[in-house]
């Protein structure tokens, strides 16, 4: 008499084990929740029964179960759209399409099932999974549920499968064929039979293991079975039975009563294979979720690095960039662990990364956070961007660490003007450098459009208020639709700001209507300017409103360069779309005639600004010359704003690299500006804690600080800068010492990178190295990344790695609650070395207004020259005994800072006599960009 293999009991045991396993995982990973989705087309009752059974089993184990029921009118395209959506949903780990599909339109079941992501194909029906199983490629193969359940039943007998004779009757793609492959994987000798097999009975009788899935009721009789064999009956057939109330009963493909007298083990029908199929569906889903969890446990990326063909002398930046063929950006995105749904391709070389990545990775530990800054630079710059890229190439391509570089997007103005591009330089660049330096993905254009829409809204509102009565304004601002007035959401926000707790327009009094419709902007207080991304000195002051239809409403104003817009600063400091929308609404553009702030929300335009910015909020993914990943995002003006790339890029990078990886971000200008703002503004809003500072210094800049001749962009360097002069270097190291001291005030380890030039001598370089270490730097490394790429920065990368292991004692320089004047004075004394500050009358007046308007507790963003620690660009080294003059103060309320003006700040650069655009052209045959530098 055969022993019964009760699928019902074994499946129950498996479900309990899975339930316990899920509960144990949740204890350490609370976010773990395997998700199973069943897609059904039509409303077949038998399908509904199966789906309910699957849903109950999933819920019992602790899975998220979803039943997507599509109408019978669904087309194949509509079904495929649903599958595509579920493929991209990280919360869905398993997906099945319930067959047969019942639709009034033709649907190819093969096409539909093959559209499922093989990693989520918990039915194991895709060609990918079937092919892997057929080729015995079990790694990553999703096993079909019924064959896997059958194998589990066979293994429960204790009978060794290896070397045994196995016969499978039936060759269906769902059961027979994969069952044969699965038994082969266990080293059984397998014979597959079907309805046309000759001598089927005698072949079946040779089987130690007999699996029947032929779809014919009770076909296999007792004399077909080898005594003691394991018999697995996969059939389920309905036959007439007058003794049953329904008039029918379920039987298998095996004559149970006969075979039980011969077989050693036998599955009943029902209660045999059926429950096991459901149990294996749940197990496959849990397994898929675990694999997804393992992917979240970041190890070393499997990344293809790009080799460099170094040349001496080092060619031009664009020649180097053109000599390197970038990886397809989709491949790079996959290498760093981004999902297809999180990547929006802009061609083959750059892509936007959606904020869904940050949401998915929110529970992953951050990597190490490194900021690159510099000593007070010459007008030529000392290579912070180049160092950032070279360091990341060294960490990634040479030390095999997960690393992201996060840099600002350059403005086109300087690219065509005097500065040139900002993609790094030499063999440490972002590529393609021409795309990096030009339009990229259009973020600056979006900022320009949003900024100028707000400027237009200001002028239009003042014009209409001056030419219309309260009644006319009310009628137009709150028009009646079908005889009924209603406020739009942004108007309700204005009512709240005014303290009017009413939502029905008919309830407002005449006084409240007047307050609502009239902003009463004082034109003399308008701080919002128009912008464009071109260096045009003749737009620094303009007169608007000279057309005949403007009725004499002329006003003096100006253009700034686009990166100086507060919207750019908002983009850089935002932490999400909702936060950006709120910040845009808070932007103060002027004061009314009573001294109250007027915001973008008051103008009703902030929602539209958010729409224009909804794509710009996504960081752009690019790569270095050696194939390591780069985020390019935001580019706030480093004088009047904080001059750092975006918080969002840093946050996503820190998650992607994992706990043992590195996100290296760059702060604009010298440490007294970019680094201080990085710590006191950016880190406040991000909540991120830095692990190390890389402070870039050059012999050239130190000679300047030691008393060397003036350095002028576009003019050959004086001889002092190309000949050895260690005395000049030693004197200039006072600036290096001060910037090391500044960094250490924040409790962060400082690694000095001595960016070596060909004209530097060993004696000069070692002098800087020695003084830096004596002055409190964690280490000081001579780096040659410009000429050698990542290999030239390996020692720097190793030092940074060690510095990041130091315990960070990070702290801010000042408390936000201090009075604005005291915060300004703290920065002036502690960071610049001033004796104190002098508030000029206009600045004092503005600061008092900001306090009155409720803006005292914002951080300070000093707007001063980057060419000196002081306010005077001619004072090099470490100036002392000076008082810092504050001539004015402005508020970027949306971005979230007050910026005092120290001296004159030009927010619209001009073009030199011979701009960079003289060299820039396009090859009409190859379409390659020429002459960028």
Three-state DSSP state, 142: coil
Q: What six digits make up the tokens of 22? A: 């899920």
Residue of 27, 54, 248, 352 marked catalytic: 54
pLDDT surpasses 80 at 639: no
Q: What is the mean pLDDT of residues 59-82?
A: 96
Cα gap 786→101, rounded to integer Å: 61
**Token pair 């019978």 in the structure block, residue:** 72
Confidence of residue 535 (pLDDT cuts 50, 70, 90): confident
User: Residue 531: which residues within 8 A CB-CB, separation 6 or more?
Assistant: 447, 448, 451, 452, 559, 560, 561, 562, 564, 565
Is 837 strand, coil or helix? Answer: strand
Q: Which CATH architecture has domain 370-438+620-636+645-805?
A: 3-Layer(aba) Sandwich (3.40)
> Could you report the per-residue pLDDT of 797-841, keeping only the tens digit for each?
999 999 999 988 999 999 999 999 999 999 999 999 999 999 999
Coil, strand or helix at 892: strand
- Reduced to 3 states, what is the DSSP secondary structure of residue 239? strand
Residues 586-627 have pLDDT tens digits of: 999 999 999 999 999 999 999 999 999 999 999 999 999 999
Work out the number of other CB atoms within 10 angstroms of the CB of residue 188: 23
The reported pTM is: 0.88
Here the tokens at position 200 are 């089927």
**What local confidence, expressed as pLDDT, does residue 294 receive?**
81
Percentage of the chain surpassing pLDDT 70?
A: 99
The single residue listed with the structure tokens 């379409």 is 927
Strand partners, 782: 754
Which pair of tokens denotes residue 891? 């508020």
What is the arrangement of strands in the sheet containing 94-97, beginning at the earlier edge strand? Answer: 64-70, 35-41, 94-97
Name the more confident of 307 and 436.
307
Tens of pLDDT, residues 117-146: 999 999 999 999 999 999 999 888 999 999
Q: Which of 765, 740, 764 is nearest to 752 (CA)?
A: 740
Is the predicted pLDDT of residue 906 greater than 90, yes or no?
no
Supply the DSSP symbol for 863: B
Q: Which two tokens stand for residue 89?
A: 């949903």
User: What integer pLDDT is reported at residue 552 of this predicted model?
Assistant: 80
Q: pLDDT tens for residues 676-693? A: 999 999 999 999 999 999
Q: Is the pLDDT of residue 640 over 80?
A: no
The total of other beta-carbon atoms located within 10 Å of residue 602's CB is: 23
Q: How far apart are CA 379 and CA 693, in angstroms?
A: 22
Residues of the chain with CATH 3.10.410.10: 820-901
State the angle between helix axes of 726-744 and 762-774 in degrees (0 to 180), rounded to the nearest 10: 30
| Residue among 736, 704, 697 nearest 720 (CA) | 704
What is the distance between the alpha carbons of residues 872 and 120, in angstroms, rounded to a whole number?
A: 63
Pick from 230-244, 251-265, 566-580: least confident: 230-244
Half-sphere exposure of 921 (CA within 13 A, CB side): 6
- Would the pLDDT of 413 be above 80? no
Distance CA 750, CA 799 (A): 10
Q: What is the 3-state secondary structure (H, E, C) of 252-265?
A: CCECHHHHCCCCCE
pLDDT of residue 420: 62
Alpha helices in 621-752 (DSSP H): 647-657, 676-677, 683-686, 699-705, 726-744
- Per-residue pLDDT at 929: 78
Pairwise CA distance, residues 145 & 666, whole Å: 52
The superfamily CATH assigns to domain 820-901 is Formyltetrahydrofolate synthetase, domain 3 (3.10.410.10)
Per-residue pLDDT tens over the stretch 448-476: 999 999 999 999 999 999 999 999 999 99
Q: Is 84 left (phi over 0), alpha (psi -120 to 50) or beta?
A: alpha
Cβ 295 vs Cβ 655: under 8 Å: no
156-172: average pLDDT: 95
CB-CB contact of 861 with 681 (8 Å): yes
Pairing between strand 368-374 and 629-632?
unpaired
| Distance from C-alpha of 475 to C-alpha of 472, rounded to nearest angstrom | 5
Q: Are 58 and 36 in contact (CB under 8 A)?
A: yes
The pLDDT assigned to 719 comes to 92
Q: Where in the chain is the domain with CATH 3.40.50.300?
A: 370-438+620-636+645-805
Which pLDDT score is estimated for 418? 67
> Which of 308, 300, 296, 297 lies closest to 399, judged by CA?
300
Query: What's the pLDDT score for residue 179?
Result: 96
Residues of CATH 3.40.50.720 domain(s) within the chain?
121-277
Is 121-277 in CATH node 3.40.50.720?
Answer: yes
The dihedrals phi and psi of 716, each to the nearest 5 degrees, come to -55, 145
Contact 408, 415 (CB under 8 A): no
Residue 270: is the preceding peptide bond cis (ω within 30°)? yes
Q: Say whether 54 is catalytic.
A: yes
Beta strand 230-233 with 588-591 is: unpaired
Contacts of 779 (CB under 8 A, 6+ apart): 751, 752, 773, 799, 802, 803
Q: Quote the DSSP letter at residue 588.
A: E
| Torsion angle of the four alpha carbons 853, 857, 860, 861, in this order, in degrees rounded to the nearest 10 | -60
154 exposure class (CB count in 10 Å sphere: 0-12, 13-18, 19+) = buried
Phi–psi pair at 755, nearest 5 degrees: -75, 105
Average pLDDT of 772-799?
A: 98
DSSP letters, 867-906, are: SSSSS-TT--SS--S-EEEE-EEEEETTTTEEEEE-S---
The pLDDT mean for the chain works out to 94
What is the pLDDT, as a whole number, of residue 421? Answer: 62
Distance between CA atoms of residues 642 and 644, nearest Å = 6
Token pair for 50: 């199966």
The DSSP letter of residue 464 is H
CATH 3.30.1510.10 in the chain, residue ranges? 444-613
- Rounded Cα distance between 629 and 862, Å, is 32
CA 194, 197, 200, 202 dihedral sign is negative
pLDDT at position 482 is 87
Dist CA 722 CA 458 (whole Å): 53
Model pLDDT, residue 740:
98
Q: What is the mean pLDDT of residues 312-328?
A: 93
- At the fourth CATH level, the homologous superfamily of domain 444-613 is Domain 2, N(10)-formyltetrahydrofolate synthetase (3.30.1510.10)
What pLDDT is attached to residue 842?
Answer: 94
């Amino acid at each position: 008499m055969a022993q019964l293999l009760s699928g019902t009991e074994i499946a129950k045991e498996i479900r309990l084990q899975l339930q316990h396993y899920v509960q144990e995982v949740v204890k350490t990973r609370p976010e773990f929740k395997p998700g199973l989705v069943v897609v059904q087309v039509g409303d077949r009752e038998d399908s509904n029964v199966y789906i309910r059974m699957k849903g109950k089993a999933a819920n019992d184990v602790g899975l998220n179960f979803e039943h997507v029921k599509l109408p019978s009118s669904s087309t194949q395209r509509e079904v495929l759209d649903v599958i595509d959506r579920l493929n991209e949903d990280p919360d869905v780990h398993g997906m099945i399409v319930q067959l047969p599909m019942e639709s009034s339109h033709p649907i190819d079941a093969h096409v539909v099932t093959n559209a499922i992501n093989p990693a989520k194909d918990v039915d194991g029906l895709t060609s990918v999974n079937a092919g892997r199983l057929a080729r015995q490629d079990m790694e990553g193969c999703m096993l079909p549920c019924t064959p896997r359940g059958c194998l589990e039943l066979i293994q429960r007998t204790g009978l060794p499968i290896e070397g045994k004779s196995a016969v499978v009757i039936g060759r269906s793609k769902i059961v027979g064929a994969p069952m044969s492959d699965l038994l082969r994987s266990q080293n059984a000798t397998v014979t597959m039979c079907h309805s046309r097999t000759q001598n089927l009975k005698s072949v079946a009788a040779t089987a130690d293991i007999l699996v029947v899935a032929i779809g014919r009721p009770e076909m296999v009789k007792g004399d077909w079975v080898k005594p003691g064999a394991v018999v697995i009956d996969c059939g389920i057939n309905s036959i007439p039975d007058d003794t049953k109330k329904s008039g029918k009963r379920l039987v298998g493909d095996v004559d149970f009563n006969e075979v039980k007298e011969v077989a050693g083990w036998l599955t009943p029908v029902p209660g045999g294979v059926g429950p096991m199929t459901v149990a294996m569906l749940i197990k496959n889903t849990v397994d898929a979720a675990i694999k997804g969890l393992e992917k979240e446990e970041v190890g070393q990326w499997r990344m293809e690095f790009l080799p460099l063909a170094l040349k001496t002398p080092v060619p031009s930046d664009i020649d180097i960039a053109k000599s390197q063929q970038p990886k397809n950006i989709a491949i790079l995105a996959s290498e760093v662990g981004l999902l297809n749904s999180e990547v929006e391709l802009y061609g083959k070389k750059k892509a936007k990364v959606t904020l869904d990545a940050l949401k998915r990775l929110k529970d992953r530990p951050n990597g190490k956070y490194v900021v690159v800054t510099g000593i007070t630079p010459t007008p030529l710059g000392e290579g912070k961007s180049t160092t950032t890229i070279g360091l990341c190439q060294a960490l990634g391509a040479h030390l095999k660490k997960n690393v992201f570089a996060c840099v600002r997007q350059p403005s086109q103005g300087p690219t065509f003007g005097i500065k040139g591009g900002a993609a790094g330089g030499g063999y440490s660049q972002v590529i393609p450098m021409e795309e990096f330096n030009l339009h990229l993905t259009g973020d600056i254009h979006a900022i320009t459009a949003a900024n100028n829409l707000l400027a237009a809204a200001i002028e239009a509102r003042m014009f209409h208020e001056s030419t219309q009565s309260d009644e006319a304004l009310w009628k137009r601002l709150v028009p009646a639709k079908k005889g009924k007035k209603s406020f739009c959401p942004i108007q309700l926000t204005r009512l709240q700001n005014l303290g009017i707790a009413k939502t029905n327009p008919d309830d407002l009094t005449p006084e409240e209507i007047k307050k609502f419709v009239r902003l009463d902007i004082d034109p003399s207080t308008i701080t919002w300017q128009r912008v464009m991304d071109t260096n045009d000195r003749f737009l620094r002051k303009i007169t608007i409103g000279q057309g005949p239809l403007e009725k004499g409403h002329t006003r003096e104003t100006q253009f700034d360069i686009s990166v100086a817009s507060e919207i750019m600063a908002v983009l850089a400091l935002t932490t999400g779309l909702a936060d950006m929308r709120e910040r845009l609404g808070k932007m103060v553009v002027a004061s009314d005639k009573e001294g109250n702030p007027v915001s973008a929300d008051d103008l009703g335009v902030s929602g539209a600004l958010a729409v224009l910015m909804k794509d710009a909020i996504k960081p752009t993914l690019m790569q270095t010359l050696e194939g390591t990943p780069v985020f390019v995002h935001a580019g706030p003006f480093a004088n009047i704003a904080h001059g750092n790339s975006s918080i969002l890029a840093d946050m996503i990078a820190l998650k992607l690299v994992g706990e043992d990886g590195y996100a290296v971000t760059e702060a604009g200008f010298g440490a007294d500006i970019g680094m201080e703002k990085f710590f006191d503004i950016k880190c406040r809003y991000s909540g991120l804690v830095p692990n190390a500072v890389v402070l870039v210094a050059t012999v050239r800049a130190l000679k300047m600080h030691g008393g060397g001749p003036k350095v002028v962009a576009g003019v050959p360097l004086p001889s002092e800068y190309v000949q050895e002069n260690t005395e000049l270097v030693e004197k200039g190291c006072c600036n290096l010492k001060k910037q090391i001291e500044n960094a250490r005030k924040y409790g962060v380890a400082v690694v000095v990178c001595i960016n070596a030039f060909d004209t530097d001598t060993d004696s000069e370089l070692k002098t800087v190295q020695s003084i830096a270490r004596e002055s409190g730097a964690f280490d000081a490394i001579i780096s040659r990344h410009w000429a050698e790429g990542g290999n030239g920065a390996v020692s720097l990368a190793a030092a940074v790695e060690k510095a990041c292991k130091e315990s960070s004692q990070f702290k801010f320089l000042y408390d936000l609650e201090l009075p604005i004047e005291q915060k300004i004075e703290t920065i002036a004394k502690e960071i610049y070395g001033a004796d104190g500050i002098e508030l000029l009358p206009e600045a004092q007046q503005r600061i008092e207004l900001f306090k009155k308007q409720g803006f005292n507790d914002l951080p300070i963003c000093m707007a001063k020259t980057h060419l000196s620690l002081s306010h005077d660009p001619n004072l090099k080294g470490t100036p002392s005994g000076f008082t810092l003059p504050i001539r004015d103060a402005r508020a970027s309320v949306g971005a979230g800072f007050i910026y005092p003006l120290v001296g004159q700040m030009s927010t619209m650069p001009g073009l030199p006599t011979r701009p960079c655009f003289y060299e820039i052209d396009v090859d009409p045959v190859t379409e390659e960009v020429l002459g960028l530098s």
